[in-house]
Amino acid sequence: MNPKPTLLILHNKYLQKGGEDTVVQNEISILQTNGYTVYYKEFNNQDIHSLKPGILLMPLNFFFNIASFFQVYFLVKKHKIQVVHVHNFFYTASPSVFWAAKAAGAATVMTVHNYRLFCLNGYFFKKGETCFQCHTKKNFSTGIHEKCFRSSAISSNVLALSTNFHRKIHTWKNKVDQFIVINPFMPQLLQDIGIPAKKIFVKPNFLATQKTESIPDYRDRDDFYLFVGRLSEEKGIRQLILAFEKMQKKLVIAGDGDLRNFVIEHTSPTIQYKGLLPKEEITDLYTSCKALVFPSLWIEGMPMTIIEAQSSGAIPIVASSVTTEKIVDHGVNGFLYTPGNEADLLSVIDLFESLSIESLNTLSKNVQAHFLKTHSSEQHTKAITAIYSKLSA
């Protein structure tokens, strides 16, 4: 039996902390617990908002960051890294990190957390609705015209050129040995740009938690609904607040983002805004709320918010999509409604409110059972060990 390979986990952090950052830290922790030697290299995008001299090179760095290339190359050589696992390269790290890893002799893995390889804003979402035009047309003309990246035609052009450049020089085909995708929607997207199916492995996000953790009885939960996440248009927070204003039911909101002022302006005795909270306080909200409401308007990758809520038995009420329909079985371990449809959300809330404590406890147990079967650290460890072992054999 081959010993566990030495790993380099590489992640380019965003300006605002999100679910990907949580996934990376969870993964490092669980790998170390299972006896892997793990090195971690982090990049960040702060420099693009500074006045450092390197800012002048940013357009070139989108294509191929030479500094990132040599940093990764020498790390692989120095520590005899066998597998480089990239969670996000955008945009400071750049795709050069894959070339560096291969040049230094390591196998490469990429977890595809979002839709950036196919869509300039990474959401398949613009002007309040789903949009696949750039992917279906096989060019980014629409995204450039709509200024989909950073609301800038220039930035959108640069990103489009970089993405097309790496498709043409076969970075994804030849420099990535294994793609890990987090939902069943992503494999076809990768195959559409020429990635062989045998290189694609579906593995949902996971949460490190104890299998024996108990969940609270619904008699002991408080009388409020919960939203946790980024306060932005695609997350559906605007529609959620307007719906709850009509219902006059208590909604607690935790998070930050572009619509923070909108949320603050709509606070009331029934709508409370908690801001950006530490992990421990978020966990307390999951275990005390009557339900998590997840109103996202776009096709999420694999929402950590729902997974975190499931681990504590909180029943999710979720906007339906190709992703969330794989997480929530309507009426069995949660409820689905049409995204952005206020009447449908109100109908589902009414149904939820009509349930007995016994029915709620049954749903809650089903919620946690789904989590343990699909998103637990045990399931993740089996899958990731198989991938690493195959690549290092």
**Full DSSP string of 77-133:** HHHT-SEEEEEE-TTTT-THHHHHHHHTT-EEEEEE-SSTTT-TTSSSEETTEE--H
Q: Report residue 19's pLDDT band, with 50, 70 and 90 as the boundaries.
A: confident
User: What would the mean pLDDT of 222-227 be, rounded to a whole number?
Assistant: 98
Give residue 24's pLDDT. 92
Same domain? For 133 and 163 the reply is yes
Give dist(CA 306, CA 83) in Å, integer. Answer: 30
Structure tokens at 103: 């040049």
Decide if 112 contacts 118 (C-beta within 8 A). Answer: no
Give residue 21's pLDDT. 87
Decide if 338 contacts 344 (C-beta within 8 A). Answer: yes
Same domain? For 88 and 150 the reply is yes
Total number of domains in the chain = 2
Give dist(CA 235, CA 305) in Å, integer. Answer: 12
Same domain? For 118 and 242 the reply is no
User: What would the mean pLDDT of 274-285 be, rounded to a whole number?
Assistant: 95
Same domain? For 364 and 228 the reply is yes
Give dist(CA 349, CA 243) in Å, integer. Answer: 11
**Domain-located, residue 106:** yes
Mean predicted lDDT score pLDDT of the chain: 92
Give residue 214's pLDDT. 81
> What is the torsional sign of CA 33, 34, 40, 46?
negative
Q: For the purposes of burial, counting CB atoms within 10 Å of the CB of 168, is it exposed (0-12), middle (13-18) or buried (19 or more)?
A: exposed
Same domain? For 111 and 87 the reply is yes
User: What would the mean pLDDT of 57-63 be, rounded to a whole number?
Assistant: 71
Same domain? For 315 and 361 the reply is yes
Q: CATH number of the domain at 305, please.
A: 3.40.50.2000
Same domain? For 46 and 178 the reply is yes
**Domain-located, residue 87:** yes
Q: Which residues contact 99 (CB under 8 A, 6 or more apart)?
A: 64, 69, 171, 175
Same domain? For 149 and 201 the reply is yes
For residue 175, give Cα distances in angstroms to 108, 168, 299, 353: 7, 13, 28, 52
Give residue 50's pLDDT. 47
**Domain-located, residue 61:** yes
User: What would the mean pLDDT of 306-318 be, rounded to a whole number?
Assistant: 95
Same domain? For 159 and 261 the reply is no
Q: Mind listing the pLDDT tens digit for each residue in 32-47?
A: 999 999 999 999 876 5
Is the pLDDT confidence value at 93 over 80?
Answer: yes
46-50, 58-62, 252-256: range with lowest mean pLDDT? 46-50
**Domain-located, residue 381:** yes
Domain extent for 60: 7-208+376-392
**Domain-located, residue 340:** yes
Same domain? For 315 and 338 the reply is yes
User: What would the mean pLDDT of 216-234 be, rounded to a whole number?
Assistant: 96
User: What type of residue is 244?
Assistant: F
| 3 vs 301, more confident | 301
Q: Which residues contact 95 (CB under 8 A, 6 or more apart)?
A: 64, 89, 162, 166, 171, 175
Q: Mind listing the pLDDT tens digit for each residue in 189-203?
A: 999 999 999 999 999
Give residue 45's pLDDT. 77
Give residue 59's pLDDT. 65
Q: Mind listing the pLDDT tens digit for each residue in 169-218?
A: 999 999 999 999 999 999 999 999 999 999 999 999 888 765 546 889 99
Give residue 252's pLDDT. 98
Same domain? For 366 and 387 the reply is no
Is the pLDDT confidence value at 2 over 60?
Answer: no
Beta-bridge partner residues of 53? none
**Domain-located, residue 2:** no
22-26, 169-173, 183-187, 220-224: range with lowest mean pLDDT? 22-26
**Domain-located, residue 23:** yes
**Domain-located, residue 1:** no
Q: Mind listing the pLDDT tens digit for each residue in 315-338?
A: 999 999 999 999 999 999 999 999
Same domain? For 153 and 232 the reply is no
Helix-helix angle 342-353:237-247, to 10 degrees: 50
For residue 146, give Cα distances in angstroms to 73, 132, 133: 37, 13, 11
